[in-house]
Amino acid sequence: MKIELLDLTVQELVEDYNDDDEGGVTGYGGKLDIRPPFQREFIYKDKERNAVIDSILKGFPLNVMYRADRQREVGVV
């Protein structure tokens, strides 16, 4: 496994943000599954949401995120 640091902004992560309801949520130009279709939607309570926004506005880093490259399987009809 190779770990590579990508220093991305929130703006880059939400580029081409798409919420396809039950189909999931993607961003980062379609390369990031923010909420895959099989995962339930997670909603912060006001206190947690405000803490994340405050961290961003103060320029603090958010949690480390790991990503894995994967091929999407396409079903044949």
CB-based contacts of 5-10 (< 8 A; 24+ apart in sequence):
10/56, 10/62
Q: Quick one: tokens of 68?
A: 């894995």
pLDDT beyond 80 at 72: no
pLDDT beyond 70 at 56: yes
pLDDT beyond 70 at 62: yes
Query: Where are the domains positioned within the chain?
Result: 10-57
Higher pLDDT, 65 or 49: 49
Global pTM exceeds 0.85? no
